[in-house]
Structure 1
Amino acid sequence: MAKAFGFVDYGGPEVQEFLDRPVLEPGPGQLAIAVRAAGVNPVDWKVRRGWLGRERELPAVMGSEASGVVERIGAGVTGFSLGDEVFGVAAAGAFAEQTLLVAARSAVKPAQVGFDQAATLPVAAATADDAIRDIGVGAGQTLLILGIAGGVGSAAAQIARSRGIRVIGTAGDANRAYVESLGAAQLHYGEGVADRIRALAPDGVDGLLDLVGGEDARAAAVTLADRSRLVSTVDPTTAQDLGGRYLTHSTTPATLAALAGLVAAGELDPHITGRYPLAHVAEALALVESGHARGKLVLEVS
């Protein structure tokens, strides 16, 4: 049996608990790994609350990205060997001592990149990379990120900067120094945000990555000349109303390898602001669910 953390019904933190589950065998297209680290993301608690559907068989193990060591390889999988240090999207929950990865959304971890760093890449950094590609903004242009201080926003700012894109982003004033450390200009969200955006970008912005949704997205969108360059990861309805769209994921092993390469080269810092043992996973989830987590939180699994 392997220790795992999940939920026994849909709802709030009260439905979470530790679980014992059998060691999993990989199916076609899967890797079985001994987990070394797992990233904690907003999607994890949203799944638990049932906001993304209620089709999962319960109890369900939480967590969507992990790194670890390959123990068994499923049918049809190529490019991986037993003992490889890997990272990727979890097929059976990441908050566990042992789990399965989707091989088509996994990659071998470079030796220069830690398990903790690698575990932050398959969801947040990959989402950021997908979004920048989807928006189509390029070198010399300006990207506006709504909610820049979180995991996806922090990664997007650095990835964009590495490509010669100017970045401005909304965040609380307490996060000004942090946002500037990402190579971006911070501005306060809320009433009057369009005027503050124009003060930094008088000609408007060339792309908008919405990680907030709602009225903040509506207010900021007026500074974007081409609404087709608005991509949201949180609010498909508002994005469509504004002429933009919901994010299309296109992550591949090559994409993940490239992101790990940026980490190894020092161009992408996952900004891990909290490390928790698996026994304290509920604390990490509570911080992410509060909406006040900066950067990335990681579980370290022995």
Structure 2
Amino acid sequence: MKAIAYERFGSADVLELKDLPTPHPGSDSVLVQVKAASLNPVDYKAREGYLKGVIDTVFPAVPGWDVAGVVVKPGLDTPELSEGDEVLAYARKDVISGGTLAEFVEVPVRTLALKPPTLSFEDAAALPLTGLTALQTVRRARVSPGQTVLIHAAAGGVGSYAVQLARLAGARVVGTASEGNHEYLRSLGAEPVEYGDRLVQAARGLAPEGFDVILDFVGNGALDTVPQLLRDGGMVASVTDTRARDLYGGQYVWVRPDPLQLAELAQLAADGRLRVEVAEVFDLAQTAEAYRTLEGGHVRGKLVVRI
């Protein structure tokens, strides 16, 4: 099969289009013919070696954890799935090796959900990691009706889902973003504020009593403003900064595969209640270019590779 792989840690230059053996499904896995896969920052951080000590890499490593495709071979004990089923998955495994940027991928059943027929493969592939991260963070922060929530990096891949999910939970949402993304945030139902020295003043102008919940999807010191912005008894959650838990008594979230939550997200998207933003679609041979685009840091929405 054709796959994108790398033999050593490094920049996007180490990515190559290779011929690799087609994997076999394990007893509780299925073989999926990949129709689309999406890119995430964690992919290139792993490729650059920053996850050493967190998760092992086995070379040649095929990157990618997000996938949408068709089951072509069920495992020995996968009664819930059949050949021809259309699925999506956050196909994270215990090592970085057989990822989703390939024509075929082995996917553990514990990571996947059936794809609604009306949801495109490209949109389905853009959901798993970022959608689950947003959903699990919103729920662990106990966002509820009537609350006022501040979301850092609200226009990003995770943040844009979190804005919508917090709104669906009945909360008022204020989101930080560069000025060029303010209209986009308004279209998602958030009130935008700009990054920078005036962030605290602008945010307090919108929520004079402080925020019930602060969600951090960017790091880079975003939680430094918690003492000025969080009301007494409020909740902080972050996917990048352990101070949310260790200093402020909140939540640090490392996303987990969850097939029920993934099915919920897919149905929300299929029903038009959750907007999926696909910024650009690439071919498999253009994957290195796609990662360079992602690493440039100015992508709104998701980059998808169609296979």
Same fold? TM cut 0.5: yes
TM-superposed deviation, 1:248: 4.6
Output the CA distance in 2 between the equivalents of 1:11 and 1:226: 45
- The aligned amino acid for 1:82 is E
Identity, % of aligned positions: 39
For residues 268 and 227 of structure 2, the distance between their equivalents in structure 1, rounded to whole angstroms, comes to: 30
Q: Deviations over 1:92-117 (max 9, x none)?
A: 21111111222112101011111111
Give matches, 1:83-94, under 5 Å: 83-90=84-91, 91=93, 92-94=98-100
Match of 2:216 in 1: 210
The letter for the 2-side match of 1:56 is T
**Corresponding position: 1:44 with 2:50:** no
* Separation of aligned partners in 1, 2:49 and 2:82: 36
Distance 2:240 2:205 in 1: 26
Q: Counterpart in 2 of 1:292?
A: 298
Cα distance between partner residues in 2 of 1:107 and 1:127: 16
1:18 is matched with which residue?
Answer: 17
Give distance in 1, aligned partners of 2:151 and 2:108: 29
Look up the match of 2:58: 57
Match of 1:256 in 2: 262
Q: Which amino acid aligns with 1:9?
A: R
CA distance in 2, matches of 1:20, 1:276: 19
Is 1:37–1:300's contact at 8 Å kept on the other side of the alignment?
yes
Q: Which runs of 5+ in 1 are unaligned?
A: none
Q: Deviations over 1:116-152 (max 9, x none)?
A: 1111111011110011011111111112111111110
SS of aligned partner of 1:33:
strand
C-alpha contact (below 8 Å) 2:164/2:189 kept by paired residues: yes
Residue 259 of structure 1 and its aligned partner are, at CA, apart by 0.6
Shift of 1:67: 0.5
TM-score normalized by the length of structure 1: 0.94
The one of 107, 110, 114 aligned to 2:113: 107
Q: Is the 8 A contact 1:211 1:232 kept in 2?
A: yes
Structure 1 contact 221–227 (Cα < 8 Å) conserved: no
Q: Please, which of 155, 171, 182 is the counterpart of residue 165 of structure 1?
A: 171
Query: Offset of 1:289 from its aligned partner?
Result: 1.3
Question: Which of 231, 236, 240 is 2:242 aligned to?
Answer: 236
Separation in structure 2 between the aligned mates of residue 246 and residue 76 of structure 1, nearest angstrom? 34
Q: Does residue 96 of structure 1 match 2:95?
A: no
Provide structure 2 residue ranges, at least 5 long, that are not aligned to the other structure: none
Paired position in structure 2 for 1:29:
28
Change (3 A) 1:300 1:110: same
Residues 297 and 227 (structure 1), Cα distance of their counterparts in 2 relative to 1, 3 Å cut: farther
Secondary structure of the structure 2 residue equivalent to 1:267: coil
| Counterpart in the other structure of 1:72 | 73
Shift of 1:226: 5.2
CA RMSD of aligned residues (A): 1.7
**TM-score in terms of structure 2 length:** 0.92
Q: How does 1:87-166 map to 2 (within 5 A)?
A: 87-90=88-91, 91=93, 92-166=98-172
Give the distance between the partners of 1:148 and 1:66, measured in 2 at CA: 24
CA shift for structure 1 position 225 = 2.5
* Corresponding position of 2:82: 81
Structure 1 counterpart of 2:155, one-letter code: A
Q: Is the CA contact (8 Å cut-off) linking 1:228 and 1:243 kept in structure 2?
A: no
Distance of 1:227 and 1:51 partners within structure 2: 35
Please identify, of 266-275 and 235-244, the stretch whose mean Cα deviation from structure 2 is larger.
Answer: 235-244
Change in CA separation of 1:299 and 1:227 when aligned onto 2, cut-off 3 Å? farther
Task: Kindly provide the CA deviation profile for residues 44-65 of structure 1, in whole angstroms up to 9, marking residues without a partner as x.
Answer: 1111111122621112001111
Q: How does 1:170-209 map to 2 (within 5 A)?
A: 170-209=176-215
**Contact kept? 1:227, 1:243, Cα under 8 Å:** no
Name the CA shift for 1:3/1:152 in 2 (closer, same or farther; >3 Å): same
User: Aligned AA for 1:293?
Assistant: V
The whole-number CA distance in structure 2 between the counterparts of 1:251 and 1:226 is 33
Q: Which runs of 4+ in 1 moved over 3 A?
A: 248-251
Which one-letter code corresponds to 1:155 in the other structure?
Y
Residue identity matched to 1:16: L
Whole-angstrom distance in 2 between the partners of 1:176 and 1:41: 23
